[in-house]
Structure 1
Amino acid sequence: MTTHAPASTGMDSRLDLGFADSGDGGPSLRRELFAALIEVVSGSGEWSEQTAARIHGEGVAWAARGEPVSALRVAVQETTEHIMVSSGYTTAGTEGARGEFDRRLADAGRRVTRELNRGFFAHTGREAPASAPVPPRPEPVYAPPAYAVMALRVPGRPIRDVEEVARGHGGPETAVLASARGLYVLTPAARHEESVDLAGRIHRDLGATARLAVHWKPYNEVTAGQLLVDDICAVVDALGFGPGVYQLDDVLVEYAAAQTPDIAQRLVGMVQPVLDDRVLRETLSAVISAEGDTDLACELLTLRRTYFDRRLRRVEELTGRRVEGPRDLQVLRTAVAVAAIMRH
């Protein structure tokens, strides 16, 4: 996923991806502001000529659309607020770093505002005011926000549809992110129960084919939350679960096994020879999907029984487990899930 800020800022800059293009120029401006502010804060208080030119151009474009200059200052202030809330410097034990970060961010805001003003007044032909600092920002008083973190697998649905549904239920602060694995939704949620309810409503509107994993995390653990819901999705996909909303509790055994290195290594070693063979992998997956019912698994694969039994015997030889034994099937199921988590 694309991020604007280097890791040294200590913040999860992917939260900025919540500013989606709507065609009115506002979100584009805020993304440029975010990138410029982080560039100044992360460096030595300087920014590149290219960044300064882009900010200047945003000021020109803003004036060309007939928007008021005051709205530019509000956009800078709101973006700095967004960065402060999303940063890791609001947590306990970071008071000194927080003060330094706050000062650098305020300086960056003033620099960005000046360049926006120059662009704005260059277009209008009027002279810019001598100085246009960002109004002093009072010390924020808030409880650190928490988020419903969701991973979505929605085949065939464009991201704009997902954004519309997600923001329709989660509000304008909802962020929709894209990665090679799929889509993510981050939206403020006060409690875990609220996250699950929100995920259910989003799933209902996205349609019957969607699979969605949800977990609730404090704002400074959002990245960990994304990794967790990715793992849930990996298990759901590997075990052939149907469409629906899934939580950690739905894959708790498999997830716990993956977090224990010795157990994870043993399980993956057991099942890897099967997973490396496409035919045997499909056979085992069908048995797991059929919850051990070999007749149903044979039907799912549309195979003659003699061919199916031959494959099944090979799976049992390689793993040392009987697929028709409930305990062995649970071990194999867990092994397949752990391998999926370790692989993705």
Structure 2
Amino acid sequence: MLFDVGRLLHEEFLAVYRAAAADADGWEDAAVTVAHRVGSRLVAGKVPVAHVVVALRSTDRLLTETMLDDGGDARALAAAGTALATELMAAFCVGDDGLADALLAGNAPDDAAAFYTVVAVRGALTQRVVSAFRRRGPALLATSGHLLLPLAEAASLPLCREVCEEIGGEVWLCVAERPAARVALARKEVDEIDALVASLGRPPGVYRIDDMLFESAVLETPEVRDELAKVVAPLLANQVLVETVLALLEADGNRAVAVKKLFIHRSTIDYRLWQIEQLTGLSPVNPRDLAVLGTAIGMSRTNALG
């Protein structure tokens, strides 16, 4: 397969440079998508990395000069060039990603790391998250979309938090660690954590099973599930009160933060919390009761989807 690499890059990157020059919303995500697509195409075509690097420099110079002539912002254009180059070159660093699929299938090779942390990604483009991790060290991407870090969980957690902070916005990372031969179990665990986090409406961030032990135990016990369903039934009939519980959960129980999120007065939330306690017998100002209410709401949503 033959490529005019310079022409390909110019055609594919032009729209991104234009969007960046105009400071249009979403150009960063567009850069990730375009660069990943082009990089995958170049890798499949076995284009030498050296040719790609030369074409990248030439394309960046030509497009930047063109956009500057049209009044584009130099800093934004420089950021666009860096983002596109970083994401595109990441495609040439995925030669070992087949290892991720092998590990998830239970086939750990002799040269595998001792431990892997599996990361489930939600709320952001997976390739953008992968690139953020790869700038910090080795990371493997499975075809299922799961990310594998050849590190123990204790070392992976700080990296996950750094990535969340770098990407910003709404991104959820659920993590679990296992020895190389048991990576498939870590995948099952992160999927379960992610499902719980999503159903409970938890805020963006990094989650482990330790963060969800109470909720997991509750939802796995039929008797407790049935009792919770009875308790939460009156609450579910009032969407305003449900939203109040979820806002308080997202604010980690901080009423002042929840008030701002809901755009209501402090006295209004106090009245709503009193109503919730009257309906359910559980006080949302008590951390454990709030967790129970959140779990019950999440359970009702999961049942509705099921």
TM-score by length of 1: 0.49
Residue in 1 aligned with 2:81? none
Q: Any gaps of 5 or more consecutive residues in structure 2?
A: 1-35, 47-94
Summarize the Cα distance change of 1:189–1:267 in structure 2 as closer, same or farther, 3 Å threshold. farther
State how far apart, in whole Å, the 2-side matches of 1:185 and 1:81 are: 12
State how far apart, in whole Å, the 1-side matches of 2:217 and 2:187 are: 17
Residue in 2 aligned with 1:32? none
Residue in 1 aligned with 2:135? 168
Say which of 311, 324, 329 aligns to 2:285: 324
Summarize the Cα distance change of 1:217–1:186 in structure 2 as closer, same or farther, 3 Å threshold. farther
Residue in 2 aligned with 1:45? none
Task: Letter of the 2:118 partner, please give it.
Answer: V
Q: Is the 8 A contact 2:241 2:276 kept in 1?
A: yes
Correspondences of 1:1-344 after superposition (within 5 Å): 22-26=40-44, 87-88=105-106, 141-142=110-111, 146-154=115-123, 157-171=124-138, 174-175=140-141, 184-207=145-168, 209-219=170-180, 221-237=182-198, 241-275=202-236, 277-292=238-253, 294=255, 297-303=258-264, 308=269, 311-339=272-300
Q: Is the 8 A contact 2:235 2:242 kept in 1?
A: yes
State how far apart, in whole Å, the 2-side matches of 1:186 and 1:273 are: 41
State how far apart, in whole Å, the 1-side matches of 2:114 and 2:304 are: 32
Q: Is the 8 A contact 2:104 2:184 kept in 1?
A: no
Summarize the Cα distance change of 1:260–1:280 in structure 2 as closer, same or farther, 3 Å threshold. same
State how far apart, in whole Å, the 2-side matches of 1:213 and 1:206 are: 16
Which has the larger displacement, 285-294 or 249-258? Answer: 285-294
Task: Letter of the 1:174 partner, please give it.
Answer: L
1:306: how far off?
Answer: 6.9
Task: Letter of the 1:175 partner, please give it.
Answer: L
Summarize the Cα distance change of 1:269–1:168 in structure 2 as closer, same or farther, 3 Å threshold. farther
Q: Is the 8 A contact 1:153 1:211 kept in 2?
A: yes
- Other structure's SS at 1:148 match: strand
1:151: how far off?
Answer: 2.0
1:241: how far off?
Answer: 4.7
Q: How many matched pairs? A: 221
- Other structure's SS at 2:186 match: helix
Which has the larger displacement, 298-307 or 276-285? Answer: 298-307
TM-score by length of 2: 0.53
Residue in 2 aligned with 1:37? none
1:309: how far off?
Answer: 5.6
State how far apart, in whole Å, the 1-side matches of 2:103 and 2:154 are: 23
State how far apart, in whole Å, the 2-side matches of 1:327 and 1:87 are: 39
Summarize the Cα distance change of 1:313–1:261 in structure 2 as closer, same or farther, 3 Å threshold. same
State how far apart, in whole Å, the 2-side matches of 1:145 and 1:239 are: 33
- Other structure's SS at 2:157 match: helix
Q: Is the 8 A contact 1:170 1:187 kept in 2?
A: no
Summarize the Cα distance change of 1:149–1:273 in structure 2 as closer, same or farther, 3 Å threshold. farther
Q: Any gaps of 5 or more consecutive residues in structure 1?
A: 1-18, 29-74, 92-139, 179-183
Summarize the Cα distance change of 1:147–1:186 in structure 2 as closer, same or farther, 3 Å threshold. farther
Q: Is the 8 A contact 1:239 1:289 kept in 2?
A: no
Which has the larger displacement, 294-303 or 210-219? Answer: 294-303
Percent identical pairs in the alignment equals 30
When Rg is computed on C-alpha atoms for both structures, the one with the higher figure is: 1
Task: Letter of the 1:203 partner, please give it.
Answer: C
Question: Deviation digits for residues 280-321 of structure 1, max 9, x if unmatched?
Answer: 210222233445555654443223567656644543343232
1:233: how far off?
Answer: 3.6
Q: Is the 8 A contact 1:147 1:186 kept in 2?
A: no
1:247: how far off?
Answer: 1.8
